[in-house]
Chain A
Amino acid sequence: DAGVIQSPRHEVTEMGQEVTLRCKPISGHNSLFWYRQTMMRGLELLIYFNNNVPIDDSGMPEDRFSAKMPNASFSTLKIQPSEPRDSAVYFCASSLMNTEAFFGQGTRLTVV
């Protein structure tokens, strides 16, 4: 397996634009997590899914952020409209329930 695949690796966008981050979890994993990492706040859990269903989105900063998991092999994290303070590295991770999570390489988002 190629591991968790995220795209794009880098994204630079202007304030106000819509940004969509993509994630392909490891085949067979039934849990998927979205994290944001910044110097200020470290690694923050934004949302996680079990069996494609969002379980806890309390970490999503505000309504500008939304996440979907239409099937077991794909998830998106969308920011609309984006703001400079959204600049961060966004990680997707997947796991089998109650086992270790495997992380993707991350998407480095810069909003100017």
Chain B
Amino acid sequence: GESVGLHLPTLSVQEGDNSIINCAYSNSASDYFIWYKQESGKGPQFIIDIRSNMDKRQGQRVTVLLNKTVKHLSLQIAATQPGDSAVYFCAETGGANNLFFGTGTRLTVIP
């Protein structure tokens, strides 16, 4: 029979453009958030994190924004490159050190 899987949100961007990937979380007690990148055949790889006492954090070409009021997290990638093509996950922890992942967004960079 036909296999049914998770419907991954997808985002296609032109090389050189900026990308914005969004994530909603539900646990008000979550105090630590992480973005991961997963390439095909590999484990998730840490990109950037943010704690709940901050609303913005910048890394190299990446910025994470946290809006605790609406429980929303976003990852901005500047000047997106073909190597950025992957599935991106947000993850949250509620202080108990467990780490729960969202369903992921597939980013495709068009050369």
Contact = CB atoms under 8 A, between A and B. Distances in A.
B89 A31 contact: no
Contacts of A48: 97-99
Question: Chain A's interface: helix, strand, loop or mixed, by majority?
Answer: strand
Nearest to A39: B5
A104 interface: yes
Contacts of B49: 99-100
A40 B6 contact: yes
B97 A55 contact: yes
A42 B43 contact: no
Nearest to B34: A100
A43 B49 CA distance: 18
Nearest to B100: A45
A14 interface: no
Interface residues of B, number: 26
A50 interface: yes
Contacts of B101: 35, 42-43, 45
Contacts of A101: 34, 46, 91, 99
B25 interface: no
Contacts of A45: 98-101
B89 A43 contact: yes
B92 to A, nearest CB: 11
Nearest to A108: B41
Interface string B4-18: 111000000000000
23 contacts: A31-B97, A33-B99, A38-B5, A42-B101, A42-B104, A48-B97, A48-B98, A48-B99, A50-B97, A55-B98, A56-B98, A93-B43, A95-B99, A97-B97, A98-B93, A98-B95, A100-B46, A101-B34, A101-B46, A101-B91, A104-B43, A105-B43, A106-B43
